């Protein structure tokens, strides 16, 4: 069964959001690198790779369903952050928005009785639980650190130890 035009467009739109996420995380990594926070920069670079991988999952799924793939222009990501705390607040807000969009996609798949797309989206639903959990944990640790530079550097060191898209 072919994808509906509405579903095809919604999946293309989500692919764009995932590519934008990668672009946004790279902009954030550049900020952290400039602020001498190599651990944050490393963590964000890995996030960017992960998000590009998510976009490619949508690309391949559209391809597998013989749908038209539409690569859309990306907006410029933010590049002026007040602090690592501000940056992580934006990360969490962004991930919450992505979760809402994945949920809307799933609701559309349900309403269209598109069982293949429902199954495809299960992975993303689980992934977003992890994304929100991780960003919230880092954000809450930054809040606890407050203005303590030693605590910030400890968090930076821990983020720099990330070895993959874990």
Average pLDDT over the chain, rounded to whole?
Answer: 96
Percentage of the chain exceeding pLDDT 70: 99
The residue written with tokens 């391949």 in the block is 60
Q: Which class for 88: exposed (0-12), middle (13-18), buried (19 or more C-beta within 10 A)?
A: buried
Tens of pLDDT along 23-55? 999 999 999 999 999 999 999 999 999 999 999
| pLDDT tens string 86-123 | 999 999 999 999 999 999 999 999 999 999 999 999 99
CATH-assigned architecture of domain 5-70+80-160: Up-down Bundle (1.20)
> pLDDT value at position 165?
55
* pLDDT greater than 70 at residue 140: yes
Q: How far apart are CA 110 and CA 100, in angstroms?
A: 15
Annotated domain spans of the chain? 5-70+80-160
Q: Which two three-digit tokens encode residue 68?
A: 């038209």
The pLDDT of residue 163: 85
């Amino acid at each position: 069964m072919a994808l509906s035009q509405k579903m095809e467009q919604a999946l293309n739109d989500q692919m764009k959001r995932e590519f934008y996420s990668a672009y946004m995380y790279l902009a954030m990594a550049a900020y952290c690198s400039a602020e001498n926070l190599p651990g944050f920069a490393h963590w964000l670079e890995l996030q960017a790779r992960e998000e590009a991988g998510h976009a490619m999952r949508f690309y391949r799924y559209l391809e597998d369903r013989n749908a038209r793939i539409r690569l859309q222009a990306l907006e410029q990501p933010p590049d002026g952050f007040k602090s690592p705390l501000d940056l992580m607040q934006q990360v969490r807000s962004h991930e919450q928005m992505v979760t809402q969009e994945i949920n809307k996609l799933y609701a559309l798949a349900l309403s269209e009785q598109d069982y293949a797309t429902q199954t495809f989206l299960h992975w993303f639903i689980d992934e977003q639980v992890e994304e929100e959990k991780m960003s919230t944990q880092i954000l809450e640790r930054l809040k606890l650190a407050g203005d303590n530079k030693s605590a910030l550097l400890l968090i930076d060191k821990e983020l720099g130890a990330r070895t993959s898209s874990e």
